[in-house]
């Protein structure tokens, strides 16, 4: 048996959460707040997150506020002034969001935060509320019966809670109950680096903004972290070796050549990336059913995205919030925790979340294509983005507004502007090689 950080609930919990990433911990906290006994079982030796910064939009900070965790997140993170999109080839500005105005529009801030800080916020919140947090527990089998679910762990022990939330990430074991699929390789790879701000001061950077440079088959993101004391960079590119089917893809030589044709501001940042580790980018095709009996997928286990929308962790946090809201409805109607109708709560969860996340996953793929265009399509994209009014929220309304609890509350998607509707004839002939 693994190591218990708390032992308040030694018996079987109401809810077992498999996987202690941001998705698992935030879901554990969400249902524990409703008075349920919750245990999180994580395969790693320690709870933690690897990686660098992440962006959290108002549809997430709204939930953090409700949880009483927004002040802590705001202290640990940064409220950037703008999100600026630039062309990675010529460095010219394409469009921007005024993030302080966006905060007024949606009532909650856009934050950037180190992912280990966000994870730590949920870990401490779980500890405070008495969630059992168990490490060294790798789930190897999931089963669901009439009265509950069973999870078997590598050490042979079995959990038999009322409900299992499977938040076991991209390579989820529980997902196999619902679909026989594989992660989809995008052939793109991400390099990251979070560094003390002093190390970035020689670069031509904006310390108060999120800046995204979009270019042919590559993009580059920069933003401040930890109250401006740190600086985060993400460099993403398409790997020719991945496209050629080679095993050893995404290597630093490919990083360097992918950004050769970009502007000075981008090229300056590339040598500063961590060069000893990189993240190959996979997603999965959306699936519309996440519930098998008393087992519910959540987070990347259900909907691993390409990260272009910066909504992966946010969707996971929303999942737990929605499930807990449907539990709360039953409790408000007089149900006792012991007689919660999990079939009803899980059906309500499954009625609303897969469609929302399908939209984000599909948009993430389309967004990636849009960012990485070359030639005439790049010029058409640039023309559309430049024509956008900074204060037009038509493209963000469907995502940054309140999280839907029912299918009826899910907003319309953004208006699509076809690239071909833009005539860039003269500019295209001027820039042709």
Ligand X SMILES: Cc1cc2nc3c(=O)[nH]c(=O)nc-3n(C[C@H](O)[C@H](O)[C@H](O)COP(=O)(O)OP(=O)(O)OC[C@H]3O[C@@H](n4cnc5c(N)ncnc54)[C@H](O)[C@@H]3O)c2cc1C
Q: Which residues bind ligand X (CB under 6 A)?
A: 18-24, 41-44, 54-55, 137-139, 167-170, 173, 190, 234, 279, 299-300, 307, 310-314, 316
Shortest distance, position 61 Cβ to ligand X, whole Å: 11
Q: Which is nearer to ligand X, 287 or 331 (CB)?
A: 287
Contact 188, 238 (CB under 8 A): yes
Nearest to 381 by CA among 360, 362, 366, 364: 366
Length of the chain measured in residues: 433
Q: Which is nearer to ligand X, 281 or 376 (CB)?
A: 281
Other Cβ atoms less than 10 A from the Cβ of 253: the count is: 8
Q: What are phi and psi of 376, to 5 degrees?
A: -60, -40
Measure Cα distances from 433 to 139, 264, 375, 428, 430 in Å.
56, 20, 10, 10, 9
Beta strands in 51-162 (DSSP E): 53-56, 82-87, 93-98, 111-114, 132-134, 139-144, 149-153, 158-159
Measure Cα distances from 286 to 17, 18, 298, 347, 353 in Å.
22, 21, 13, 18, 11
Contact 305, 311 (CB under 8 A): yes
Q: Which is nearer to ligand X, 302 or 405 (CB)?
A: 302
* Helix (H/G/I), strand (E/B), else coil: 166: strand
Shortest distance, position 165 Cβ to ligand X, whole Å: 10
Q: Which is nearer to ligand X, 235 or 424 (CB)?
A: 235
400 catalytic residue (yes or no):
no
- Per the residue annotation, which of 106, 191, 223, 349 is the catalytic one? 223
Shortest distance, position 53 Cβ to ligand X, whole Å: 7
H/E element, 345: helix 342-371
What is the longest distance spanned by two Cα atoms in the chain? 72
Shortest distance, position 199 Cβ to ligand X, whole Å: 20
Nearest to 36 by CA among 327, 378, 358: 327
Other Cβ atoms less than 10 A from the Cβ of 417: the count is: 16
Nearest to 232 by CA among 94, 112, 72, 70: 112
Shortest distance, position 320 Cβ to ligand X, whole Å: 10
Instruction: Quote the CA–CA distance of 341 and 337 in Å, as a whole number.
Output: 9
Instruction: Quote the CA–CA distance of 364 and 46 in Å, as a whole number.
Output: 31
Shortest distance, position 287 Cβ to ligand X, whole Å: 15
Q: Which is nearer to ligand X, 148 or 169 (CB)?
A: 169
Shortest distance, position 59 Cβ to ligand X, whole Å: 10
Q: Which is nearer to ligand X, 109 or 312 (CB)?
A: 312
Contact 214, 382 (CB under 8 A): no
Q: Which is nearer to ligand X, 36 or 309 (CB)?
A: 309
Shortest distance, position 335 Cβ to ligand X, whole Å: 28
Q: Which is nearer to ligand X, 329 or 365 (CB)?
A: 365
Residues with a catalytic annotation lie at: 223
């Amino acid at each position: 048996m693994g190591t218990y950080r708390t032992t308040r609930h030694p018996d079987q919990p109401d809810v077992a959460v498999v996987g202690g990433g941001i998705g698992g911990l935030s879901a554990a906290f969400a249902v524990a707040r409703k008075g349920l006994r919750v245990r999180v079982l994580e395969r790693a030796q320690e709870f933690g997150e690897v990686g660098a910064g992440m962006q959290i939009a108002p549809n997430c900070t709204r939930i953090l506020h409700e949880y009483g965790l927004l002040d802590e997140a705001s202290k640990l993170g940064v409220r950037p002034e703008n999100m600026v999109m630039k062309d990675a080839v010529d460095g010219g500005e394409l469009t921007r969001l005024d993030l302080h105005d966006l905060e007024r529009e949606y009532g909650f801030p856009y934050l950037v935060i180190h992912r280990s800080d966000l994870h730590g916020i949920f870990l401490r919140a779980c500890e405070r509320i008495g969630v059992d947090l168990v490490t060294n527990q790798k789930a190897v089998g999931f089963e669901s019966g009439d009265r509950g679910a069973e999870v078997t762990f590598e050490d042979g022990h079995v959990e038999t809670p009322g409900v299992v939330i499977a938040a076991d990430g991209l390579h989820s074991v529980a997902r196999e109950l619902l679909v026989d699929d594989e992660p989809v390789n995008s052939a793109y790879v991400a390099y990251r680096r979070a560094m003390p701000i002093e190390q970035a001061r020689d670069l031509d950077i904006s310390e108060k903004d999120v800046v995204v440079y979009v270019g042919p088959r590559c993009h580059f993101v920069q933003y401040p972290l930890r109250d401006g004391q740190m600086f985060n960079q993400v460099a993403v590119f398409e790997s020719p070796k991945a496209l050629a089917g080679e095993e050893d893809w995404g290597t630093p030589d490919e990083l360097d050549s992918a950004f050769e044709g970009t502007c000075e501001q981008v090229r300056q940042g590339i040598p500063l990336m961590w060069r000893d580790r990189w993240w190959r980018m996979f997603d999965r095709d959306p699936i519309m059913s996440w519930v098998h009996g008393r087992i519910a997928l959540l987070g990347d286990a259900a909907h691993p995205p390409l990260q272009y929308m910066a909504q992966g962790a946010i969707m996971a946090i929303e999942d737990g919030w929605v499930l807990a809201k449907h539990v709360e409805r039953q409790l408000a109607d007089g149900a006792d925790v012991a007689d919660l109708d999990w079939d009803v709560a899980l059906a309500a969860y499954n009625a609303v979340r897969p469609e929302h996340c399908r939209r984000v996953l599909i948009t993430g793929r389309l967004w990636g294509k849009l960012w990485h265009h070359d030639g005439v399509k790049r010029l058409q994209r640039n023309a559309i983005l430049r024509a956008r009014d900074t204060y037009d929220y038509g493209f963000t309304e469907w995502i940054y507004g309140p999280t839907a609890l029912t299918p009826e509350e899910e907003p319309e998607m953004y208006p699509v502007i076809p690239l071909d509707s833009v005539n860039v004839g003269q500019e295209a002939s001027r820039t042709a090689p």
